[in-house]
Chains A and B, each alone.
Chain A
Amino acid sequence: MARSRRDFLKITASTASCFVMSVPLASCAASNPALANIGDEHYVHDGFVQVTSQSEIHFILPRDEMGQGVHHGLATLIAEELDIKVDKIKVYFAPVHKTYNNLSYGAQGTWGSSSIRDHYLPLRQAAADTRATLLKAAAQQLAIAPQQLTCRDGFIWHGTKAYPLGDFVATAAKIESVKGAPLVTDSQFKYIGKDSQRNDALAKVTGTARFSIDAKLTKAKRAVVIHAPVINGKVKDFDATRAKQQAGIVDIFAISSGIAVVAEHLWQAKKAAALVVTNWQTSELAAFNSAELPDILASKIATESGIKAHKSGRGRKALATASKRHSATYYAPYLAHATMEPMNCSAEVTASGCQVWVGSQSPEFARNGVAQLLDIDRERVQFHNHFIGGGFGRRVGIDFILEAVEIAKQVEGPVQLVWSREDDIRNDYYRPPSMVKFEAGVDENGQLSCYSVKRSGPNIFPYQLKEAVPAMLPELFPSGVSSWLAGVGGKVVNDWYAESSSVEGLFEDYQVAHKEVRQITYDPGVRNGYWRAVGHSHSGFFKESFIDEIAQLTERDPFDFRLAHLAEERLQNTLKLATQKAGWGQKLPAGHVHGVAVHKSLKTYVAQVVELSVEQGQIRIHKVTCAVDCGIVVNPNIVKAQMEGGILFGITAALYGSIDIVEGRVSQSNFHDYQMLRINQSPDIDVHLVESKVAPTGVGEPGLPPIAAAIGNAVFAATGQRLRQLPFNLSA
């Protein structure tokens, strides 16, 4: 870690005013309770670990917690090196600062199942160095040889005598910090690899966990936004005369995305919103019907060659020499995220700046976007992150945050914007619809010799660029320049360069001599975004269903066929574990069948075996057996929970998920027509972990990609019907 950063974080005898120094962290320190509210001596190490004179240990969590377990998992890394129980560490969400960047992405964001993968060693090092520095300080202060001292359970120990850590923070802050202290060896782990109760669980079962919708702003006004019924529609004019006469109404005005209705209480705003008469200027999407997409994409695939995304061997040309050939086309529709906590954000704009209270996966994009919207310096935006009531990629987007700030600009004091479920379903960054056409060739030995895929559909990145480019450019770039750059970047992605998230997971897992992957972009213009497991979320379904088709073509067992072709030993071992635990090939209850799938995503390996029956045309999933190899496991219980969650999220998409757009309007609106899996439909899930000593990888997303294919493959085994379109419809 750079020396300079450590130095400005080493602060002694601080008061709040001490933080207002000419150092980069000054502005965010003021907004970070962990760094601002300590009025006495303490020791801060690298912006992640702080020890106070009262011996409190604070951990500044660089990622956000949206269910995936980093609040506990990353704190466990700190606990291991400080040799203290996880629940003794107080966790605070990080302010916006490059210290807290996501190392793989160069921006501050929670995505890509990257938190454990990225932070495993750096956070342990920060805690190990903290421990070594405190030991060095204690040795100096007590005049005892350092090797006679140990640090454990929040104390420095000399024999049986224990000194609280806080006794040494003043000295620790003055001496030179230890760098590169040795880490705890794997065989000595006390907390890593062990189950423990999540450190956010108590707050979450007592109703005290603070989500942004719970921000304690007692004087806040409440706001709703009336959005255009046709996507991208704009307000032409509106009449709020009657609405304004309703009780509690503060103001009603147009903003860039619709009409804002602000009231003393949310129910007043909702009631008045129904009385506003709005004339909308429709958008070019008024002519768009998503039901036409499969035909459009199929014709693109039939007539265009697209952009090369991958080629090895002779590519598609090798089809000509295959002894058997097979082709199939698959399709997946638009999907919404439907997080349980609808989008919401509170904001207050004053002469001195802006405060934002929100749960966001991309605090940096949000903070910088707000600064650009208000045309103020970034450091004048104070960003308060919260627990997130479900992210799944939706809260990478900052649209609702900008909307709240646009409203707050026109309202005295803080205002809280809360979207309805209908707003949430109809104003998402949807998972892109996707069609793939596979062609495969098999040689005379029944080995897959050629594998070709054409994928057609929109790309996500051009939409992300609109929010990321202004945020990632230096502050001095005029907004016109940054949006021009975002537009150019988006065009490059669409026309010249196959975006990885459009084709990821379609071809990597199997060893085939000749492979070719091509991308044909077609984008109707509906906003797309990152949806749990992103490209893998549908690629896993496409690829693993098609591989099953080839196994059937060659008359081989789906497990054996996969094992003979998988490109990595870790894929093979994960598949073996899942099938062995599920009893693959053994007798099942009458009418029950197995289906299998295996997929690597975001560096984690997952295999699943589904046991189901088909009764009166309905799929009944009885059990899912899952194996996962994510390297070293930081918390086995949380890894299992993430597999369970990914599987159930994927089952919802496989059985029900579709966003349909008719003449530019989203047909779905709430949970009656955008169905979620419920407890009575939830199968038993049995998760097994592959033992590993290699570096850990993430688990928030990789549990999802195989499940739809495992279901579809089992349905084929049960009925002979091959399901090539999501959501599954057996009567089709």
Chain B
Amino acid sequence: MIKFWLNQQPVELDVSPDAPLLWVVREMLQLTGSKFGCGMGLCGACTMHLDGAAVRTCVLPVSAAQGRQVTTIEGLSSGQQLHPVQQAWLDENVPQCGYCQPGQIMSATALLANNTKPNDQEIDAAMQGNICRCGTYPRIKRAIKRAASSQQTVSFYDPEQEQS
């Protein structure tokens, strides 16, 4: 049995310990916000937080989460209140295709949790493991700076009202 907390909810699973955390969360726990991109930890689309640190879950065995806190994009906002980084992403109209954005946002929130005012080099260092093929990097940089300088922004969304 593997036990961990997923978005602050206890989870207990009968699963092979070497199954990658990404796929366990997507297929067994039905949270599909975290994406598959490369399977080698090279693109960051699968980024989640493990005890607050950004990790590439396509190569992380689920056993590594034993007894720990896992946070996905779905657990980032608190109730209907968006995380300030998500709000900054909206304000800068960052997403294009949107596929890499959950991973980008998880890397950005992990950065800002440890460094409230990152400079350009620190943003580059924290974000260069996340590929965006649509080319949203200039906006990601702006959104991170905006989130860093913003007070807690309040915005609401209804998770039931998801697109298509």
Contacts and interface: CB of A to CB of B under 8 A. Distances in A.
A227 interface: no
A213 B35 contact: yes
Contacts of B152: none
B137 A213 contact: no
A564 interface: no
B101 A641 contact: no
Nearest to A208: B162
Interface string B1-37: 0000000000000001001100110111011111111
B131 A340 contact: yes
Interface string B47-90: 00000000000000000000000001110110000100010011
A301 interface: no
B38 A197 contact: no
B97 A66 contact: yes
A418 interface: yes
The size class of the interface chain A forms with chain B is 35 or more
Contact of A637 (B32, B93, B163): B93
A398 B19 CA distance: 30
Contacts of B24: 267
B38 A388 contact: no
Contact of B89 (A205, A216, A247, A671): A205
B74 to A, nearest CB: 5
Contact of B99 (A340, A421, A671, A679): A340
Given A644-B135, A644-B139, A420 B99 contact: no
Nearest to B124: A680
A268 B139 CA distance: 38
A329 interface: no
Contact of A204 (B76, B77, B95, B124): B95
Interface string A328-372: 000000000011111000000000000000000000000000000
B6 to A, nearest CB: 13
Contacts, number: 203
A341 B135 contact: no
A389 B35 contact: yes
Contacts of A389: 35, 97-99
Contacts of B148: none
B120 to A, nearest CB: 9
B76 to A, nearest CB: 8
A56 to B, nearest CB: 12
A340 B19 CA distance: 22
Interface residues of B, number: 65
A340 B97 contact: yes
B138 A684 contact: yes
B99 A390 contact: yes
Nearest to A704: B135
B150 to A, nearest CB: 15
Contacts of B134: 67, 340, 390, 645, 649
A66 B98 CA distance: 8
B130 A679 contact: yes
Interface centre among A68, A266, A418, A684 (most CB of B within 10 A): A266
A342 B46 CA distance: 13
Contacts of B97: 65-67, 339-341, 387-391
A202 B161 CA distance: 10
A209 B34 CA distance: 11
A191 B31 CA distance: 35
Given A67-B97, A645-B135, A205 B105 contact: yes
Interface of A: 33, 65-69, 91-93, 195, 197-198, 200-211, 213-214, 216, 218, 222, 247, 265-268, 338-342, 386-392, 418, 420-421, 637-638, 641-642, 644-649, 670-672, 676-680, 682, 684-685
28 contacts: A66-B97, A67-B96, A67-B134, A198-B95, A202-B90, A202-B157, A203-B162, A205-B94, A205-B95, A206-B33, A206-B74, A207-B72, A207-B74, A210-B163, A211-B35, A211-B99, A213-B35, A268-B16, A339-B99, A340-B37, A389-B98, A641-B136, A671-B42, A672-B40, A679-B140, A680-B124, A680-B127, A682-B138
Across the A-B interface, the 3 shortest Cβ-Cβ residue pairs: A207-B33, A648-B135, A204-B98
Given A641-B136, A672-B42, A676-B43, 10 more contacts: A205-B102, A206-B82, A206-B159, A207-B72, A207-B102, A210-B162, A210-B164, A265-B23, A387-B98, A682-B138
